[in-house]
Amino acid sequence: MTVTEFNTCVDVYADNLYRFILKSVKDKDIAKDIVQDTYEKLWMKVSNVESTNAKSYMFTTAYRTMMDHFRSAKRKTGMTEEDYENRGHNNQYSDIKAVLNEALEKLPEIQKSVLLLRDYEGYDYLEIGDITGLSESQVKVYIFRARQFLKNYIGKPEVLI
């Protein structure tokens, strides 16, 4: 990859990368640090990374850096099957986005990440597997579970209207 191609990657993918990380960490400063760290790591490997693989490399690096942040902060928690059944809401909302954001916050971090990569960023299952280090079938299972949780959490569409 040349310097010009690197600069193009920064211009083209910085917003998508920042949005993906910000959705997960919920802290603008940490998200900026992770994105900056990602571009620094790309710059260190600029001669080894092809420009056609740069987007995948950046999202993979950013995802792993974000997971390292969660591990070091010990904020990562798991959910049991009981938690899925006991979660929900009965409030009347007019803002679907607020309900979805509230529901996304209740998902385990891995489910949230794969769902965001699939539905917000448009990656296919194989690419998500490459980014997260999961198999394609694991990605499908996590996305299915996340969508089931969101469906159960949101409940009937009439609640949203």
Kindly list the averaged pLDDT for each block of 10 residues, start to end, along the chain of length 161.
85 88 87 89 85 84 86 60 53 66 85 88 87 90 90 69 55
Give the domain CATH number at 92: 1.10.10.10
Single residue among 73, 100, 126 that ends a domain in this structure: 73
> In terms of residue numbers, what domain contains 43?
3-73
Among 32, 53, 73, the domain-final residue is 73
Number of domains making up the chain: 2
With a CB cutoff of 8 Å and minimum separation 6, the contacts of 15 are none
Shared domain for 32 and 86, answered yes or no, is no
Both 97 and 63 in a single domain? Answer: no
What's residue 155's pLDDT? Answer: 73
User: Are residues 88 and 56 located together in one domain of the fold?
Assistant: no
What does pTM read for this prediction?
0.57
Cβ-based neighbours of 133, under 8 Å, separated by 6 or more: 64
